[in-house]
Structure 1
Amino acid sequence: MQVHFTRVSTPSSFRAGAAAGVEPAADGRGITVAAGASGSWTGPWVAPAFGIEELVASWNADAPPGALVEVEVQGRSPGHETRWYALGRWTYADDRRRRTSVPGQADADAAVEVDTLVARTPLRAYRLRVTLTAAAAPPTLRLLAAAASAGRADGEIASLPGAACGVELGVPAYAQSVHAGRYPELGGGGEAWCSPTSTAMVLAYWGSGPAPPDYAWVDPGCPDPWVVHAARHTFDHAYGGTGNWAFNIAYAAHFGLDAFVTRLRSLREAERFVGERIPLVASIAAAAGELDGFPLARGTAGHLVVVTGFAADGSPIVNDPAAESNATVRRIYDRRQFERAWIGGSGGAVYVISPPGKALPPSDGSW
């Protein structure tokens, strides 16, 4: 599998990009627009050394009530440029018109599957465009990035254990299952909240997330109300669920963290993050019987978990929100089975969430 991750919104690219109605943020960290105005910024063409089959964008932004952030992508192949595809319209506020993916985008070049651009034939380059729309207070974009990939792994995957064996991070354990049947308007209820529950665990690990006044609206009898808050503020009103990868990233970034989606190629790469004390939210898929000890006995086509460490033999230690209670969230999975479920299931998709300035491990292009 080939992966190319790019932070499109570097200071130099912000200066070089095409902009209309956009201005530098007052603190110098990003771009914004004037109150009541709208503006767009178009990034440079990015050309990985391979044909792009899939692309997922990430953004970190401050979006006060009424403000909107819309991210689009355009692809290019020899002699041809695609149309612009919307990868998401986002605001932190609970606004069904504004926090939504955009369905119905498919043509001969590509299709958008909720948060992911899937090319019909490999693209040679892409560029991103962001449009900021302000209400009384303007939005500010701090990060715009994308992970382009090609060649998902098939069959058996087995990396050898690395340096993080025996390291386990103290990530709080939250179970989505304790919310079963609650707030069904948010994607069918808590039993479907694997993504926001995983995001909430990582936020808590970093000592971040919503404060009690933020989730005062949650039923007082509901456990872990911050998980309900995450579900509400990651809910994609077009998709009808809380599993939009980009929206979970934007939610985490709302609390001052740096966050992005990328794809890793093996657990050896995941170990590098754990070695730097950074947990990862990983997207997996497993049929019945393919992952020993998996709480979803019937299997799943898509599920989010938190990789919190590695046992002495290299087996991944995982906080699996599908567990029946917080006390049973911690799991140790077979390394080969988990790697197959993760790399084979989602192409190694992860949320990387960490405080600003936190050093990431050395990379060869995946982050």
Structure 2
Amino acid sequence: MTAPTPRRAVLVAALAVATAATVSGGGSAAALPSSPRGPGRTVDNRFWHSHEHWRAGTHRGTTPAAGARPGLEIATAAGRMEYADPHTGRKSTWEYATWTSPVHRSTVPATEAIASWNARTPAGTWIQVELRGTYTDGTATPWYVMGRWASGDRDIRRTSVDGQTDGRSTVWTDTLAVDAPAAGLRIADWQLRLTLHRKPGADHGPTVWLAGAMASAVPDRFTVPAAAPSGTAHELAVPRYSQETHAGQYPEYDNGGEAWCSPTSSQMTIEFWGGRASAADLAWVNPEYADPQVCHAARSTYDAAYKGCGNWPFNAAYAATYRGLAGVVTRLGSLTDLETLVRAGIPAITSQSFLPGELTGAGYGTAGHLMTVIGFTAAGDVVANDPNSPDNASVRRVYQRREWENVWLRTKRHNAAGKVVSGTGGVCYLYVPAAASPAQVEALRTVGVL
């Protein structure tokens, strides 16, 4: 039911001493922002995706591409490089071009940042996404690699990059985090660098449709204030898939279906929006396996360094490989935000962790698990498609509002041994049509994503 140790669970071990002074008791609640754009906000999102966006920044061989979905492409190679893939041992030569974004001044002096990107990478192409921040003392981080990515796995292995640190901040799989936030250091601004690769002499390359990041400074908290329910029931007809259906299948992708909560949730949401894997995409899957598209999702989100399918941006990028879909990773501040999205027709894939008994009706505990929120009852309880279910028919669950709210939004919790470990602080994946409706755009603006 769980992926490899979540990046926040790893992060908390490194920060435990530094943040001890900011954690009070075990039952205190920090205030949530009154609105995503109001005083006390804890999350800032910035994504480039329009033709005007792609014209900005610094181009070295790249060019903005017009069309129904504007993007960034290679106009002419800026140079060549050799890449030795650490996961295959193969060395290959690639042409490349780069785009460096304008500097984005975050409205939230941040302790963490997570990049997102949406791209098309035909055979013989791939992209690298880097992020560089400026600390509040005026010094800069290195250019950190936030992902080396391709939609397939024939040319390179999709991967995060371990071991990146300057002694003040560290990349934990997909999250750039300040090492000692209790000391007051923050990331004041940041920029992205995209490197597009193609085989030498090729007349085509990748296209990047969206790139950006979410920066956040969510306070340490074991409990969160309750958000009042809207009083209106609403539920979206999201397909239901169980990860347990795939237990033991393709163990080379993170031990098989037992750990596929993230790609299973992604596939449910992709199909809600009409995305369908082609017969060619599924040809490699054993025809005896049910729901082969879930196996395809696991292979398409697998991070060779993390050795799992739970890399957050890799899941969002996978969703965007389906025609007309965009995907980002962000944090939301309350269940009110989730209700706003659901009322606009947008399901959300949420990340949470909890002990057995902390979420009534779940029947399990987890150090990190993804599920898809599809609605709310009139009483405000959460309706979720939980992939940790024995079969597809039992995926739909109703969880008590107050319990679910706390296990999703908290950043600190106690594990079964009584040790303080981390929660995700409201992380979610949002997949929406690239040409979203006015109501969907307004909902995304209301929760601070646009």
Q: Which TM class, normalised by the smaller chain length? A: over 0.9
- Tell me the distance in 2 between the aligned counterparts of 1:26 and 1:162: 41
Do the aligned residues in 2 keep the contact of 1:8 with 1:146 (CA within 8 Å)? no
Q: Percent identity?
A: 43
- Tell me the distance in 2 between the aligned counterparts of 1:190 and 1:204: 19
Q: Mean alpha-carbon deviation: is it higher for 264-273 or for 23-32? A: 23-32
Aligned ranges 1:14-163 → 2 under 5 Å? 14-25=54-65, 27=67, 29-34=70-75, 37-77=95-135, 78-95=137-154, 97-120=156-179, 121-135=185-199, 136=202, 137-152=204-219, 154-157=221-224, 158-162=226-230
Q: 1:269 aligns with which of 324, 332, 337?
A: 337
Runs of 4+ in 1 over 6 A off after TM superposition: none
Q: Which residue of 1 aligns with 2:448?
A: 365
Q: 1:334 aligns with which of 400, 409, 416?
A: 400
Partner AA of 1:191 in structure 2:
E
Do the aligned residues in 1 keep the contact of 2:114 with 2:176 (CA within 8 Å)? yes
How far has the Cα of 1:337 moved from its partner?
0.8
Partner AA of 2:65 in structure 1:
A
How far has the Cα of 1:365 moved from its partner?
2.7
Aligned ranges 1:267-346 → 2 under 5 Å? 267-295=335-363, 297=364, 299-344=365-410, 345-346=423-424
- Tell me the distance in 2 between the aligned counterparts of 1:53 and 1:287: 26
How far has the Cα of 1:326 moved from its partner?
0.6
Partner AA of 2:283 in structure 1:
A
Do the aligned residues in 1 keep the contact of 2:142 with 2:166 (CA within 8 Å)? no
Measured on the aligned residues, the alpha-carbon RMSD in Å equals 1.7
2:274 matched to 1:201? no
Cα distance, 1:194–1:327 mapped onto 2, change above 3 Å:
same
Structure with larger Rg: 2
Q: Mean alpha-carbon deviation: is it higher for 89-98 or for 69-78? A: 89-98
How far has the Cα of 1:48 moved from its partner?
1.9
Q: Mean alpha-carbon deviation: is it higher for 225-234 or for 17-26? A: 17-26
Q: Which residue of 2 aligns with 1:239?
A: 306
TM-score by length of 2: 0.78
Q: Secondary structure at the match of 2:375?
A: strand
How far has the Cα of 1:96 moved from its partner?
7.6
TM-score by length of 1: 0.95
How far has the Cα of 1:366 moved from its partner?
3.9
Q: Secondary structure at the match of 2:105?
A: coil
Partner AA of 2:235 in structure 1:
E
Q: Secondary structure at the match of 1:100?
A: coil
How far has the Cα of 1:65 moved from its partner?
1.4
- Unaligned ranges ≥5, structure 2: 1-31, 33-41, 77-93, 180-184, 411-422
Q: Which residue of 2 aligns with 1:355?
A: 433
How far has the Cα of 1:34 moved from its partner?
4.4
Cα distance, 1:301–1:95 mapped onto 2, change above 3 Å:
farther
How far has the Cα of 1:51 moved from its partner?
1.6
Do the aligned residues in 1 keep the contact of 2:265 with 2:387 (CA within 8 Å)? yes
- Tell me the distance in 2 between the aligned counterparts of 1:182 and 1:168: 31
- Tell me the distance in 1 between the aligned counterparts of 2:335 and 2:209: 29
Q: Mean alpha-carbon deviation: is it higher for 209-218 or for 65-74? A: 209-218
- 1:224-266 CA-to-partner distances (Å, cap 9, x unmatched) read 1000000011100111000011111111101120111110001
Do the aligned residues in 1 keep the contact of 2:332 with 2:447 (CA within 8 Å)? no
- Tell me the distance in 1 between the aligned counterparts of 2:56 and 2:393: 51
